[in-house]
A and B are shown apart, each in its own frame.
Chain A
Amino acid sequence: KNEVEQSPQNLTAQEGEFITINCSYSVGISALHWLQQHPGGGIVSLFMLSSGKKKHGRLIATINIQEKHSSLHITASHPRDSAVYICAVGGVAGGGADGLTFGKGTHLIIQP
């Protein structure tokens, strides 16, 4: 079974700061997902990646397959970015079902 570790568990920052959330996993995967969950809200998929880097607006996600590590960056953070960010990995490399294995999430608070 894949083990997914996220850090930090909690992060409080000031508006405008550059944010980094890290994710490590133990077993080769088919894809890594970054998800966002606002308090009392549903889960939204931010990125799915299997190599390299993806960017969407102020969000950037990178993955290093060899090191089994991914980072989610938020540039020019804003209070509306306050949410729980969840890393999830899907599928063992080379086959297997794609039910996701989740990290415990990073609770991010951006203060004005």
Chain B
Amino acid sequence: GAGVSQSPSNKVTEKGKDVELRCDPISGHTALYWYRQSLGQGLEFLIYFQGNSAPDKSGLPSDRFSAERTGGSVSTLTIQRTQQEDSAVYLCASSLVGTGTEQFFGPGTRLTVL
């Protein structure tokens, strides 16, 4: 596709449920990032994938959060046992080769935990 796509665009879930958020990066981009944007915290880094290297998980807020990237392309962010403080917009971005290259952002998934 022409840009980064994310699905679903909106997700409402009940506290305690698991959710999966999907990101399709720009074709050919080796680097993929997950961020989240919340009212209280602004934008914050979650996890970074670069090629076949081990991901940088240093931004994940708890062990309830995990992500994988299959085949160097599509990525899934999973939040287990969701809490109300997980409510935020989850953004995915990709870049051509990672460090020092422009990042292109997807439209985000708005997650609401009731």
> Which A residues have a C-beta under 8 Å from some C-beta of B?
30-31, 33, 35, 42-45, 48, 50, 86, 88, 90-91, 97-102, 104-105
Contacts and interface: CB of A to CB of B under 8 A. Distances in A.
A86 B98 CA distance: 20
B29 to A, nearest CB: 13
B56 A88 contact: no
Contact of B107 (A30, A33, A42, A90): A42
A97 B91 contact: no
Contacts of B44: 102
Contacts of A31: 99-100
Interface of B: 31, 33, 35, 42-48, 50, 56, 58-59, 91, 93, 95, 98-108
A48 B101 contact: yes
Contact of A98 (B100, B105, B107): B100
B28 to A, nearest CB: 17
A90 B48 CA distance: 12
Interface centre among B31, B99, B107 (most CB of A within 10 A): B99
Contacts of B42: 102, 104-105
A48 B104 CA distance: 11
B43 to A, nearest CB: 4
A33 to B, nearest CB: 7
Given A99-B56, A99-B58, A102-B43, A44 B100 contact: no
Contacts of B35: 99-100
Contacts of B31: 98
